[in-house]
Amino acid sequence: MKKLLILIFTVCLCFMSVFTLTSCKKEQVGSRVDTATVTEPDVVDDDGFGYIIVDSKTVTITQYTGSGANVSIPSEYEGMPVTEIGEGAFRSTKVSSVTVPDSVTSIGVRAFSNCQYLTSVKLPDGIKTIEQNAFEYCSNLKAITLPNALETIGMYCFTVSGLESIEIPESVTYIDHYAFYQCLNLETAKVPATVKEFGQNVFSGNDKLTIIGPEGSAIEDYAKKYELKFTAQEAE
């Protein structure tokens, strides 16, 4: 009888462990893809831009409810500069082109996530941070020019986007996990020697991709580690 009780207890324990692991995995996937914390705006203008005012000095755009597909984001609101596109601000909207003003220095988490109609994004040179998941699932975004001041490319930033090529600016020193994961149309990625560190699977999930970078650089070592095609960059 004692052995039978031990066996039943062991089976129950194993079942509970499997259930817990499965639930955690689903939660992780869901939090990456489906969750965005959108801050309610303090005010919404006539064009559908929602703003929050930060310390009575700067403005963050937190939502867009306008009907326009070709969007030029305002550079200020009532004399205060717009410095950030907030978390989930344009997520799943039908915008097709976006021009970001010079005043903006940060693109927030999932700011343009799942914008499946988005084909064109113009970013100013002053942007320093593009947060995680910012352009994930933008399947029709084929090209983007990253700003010369950019320092941070967040995890899952462009995952499953339609990018065909990408050039990382020399201001970037680290690219986070899965930033360009499963970008199936991505044929070339030019990475400078200034990028010293990489997260996991930054460029994985695409057999036709060729990494271009300086010989003997960290990106060459990274390409070898993940068995990616590598071409040494020609001297300029």
Residue-by-residue DSSP string for 58-126: EEEEEEE----SEEE--SEETTEEEEEE-TTTTTT----EEE--TT--EE-TTTTTT-TT--EEE--TT
pLDDT at residue number 185: 97
H/E stretch holding 198 reads strand 197-198
CATH superfamily of 39-232: Ribonuclease Inhibitor (3.80.10.10)
> Bridge partners of 153?
130, 175
The mean pLDDT value of the chain amounts to 87
**How are beta strands 152-153 and 165-167 bridged, if at all?**
unpaired
**β-bridge partners, 213:** 232
User: What is the total residue count of the chain?
Assistant: 236
Q: Name the token pair of 143.
A: 């090209």
pLDDT score for 55: 86
Q: Is a pLDDT exceeding 90 seen at residue 212?
A: yes
CB 118 within 8 A of CB 143: no
Query: What predicted TM-score, i.e. pTM, was given to this entire model?
Result: 0.83
pLDDT at 195 over 50: yes
- For residue 236, what pLDDT is reported? 57
Q: Which residue has the tokens 């990456």?
A: 32
- Give the per-residue pLDDT at 35: 55
**What is the structure's pLDDT at 190?**
98
Which residue(s) pair with 197 in the sheet? 174
Q: Return the domain boundaries, the chain.
A: 39-232
In this prediction, residue 11 carries a pLDDT of 41
What pLDDT does residue 235 have? 54
Reported as a pLDDT band with limits 50, 70 and 90, residue 177 is: very high
Please check the confidence at residue 107 and state whether its pLDDT lies above 80. yes
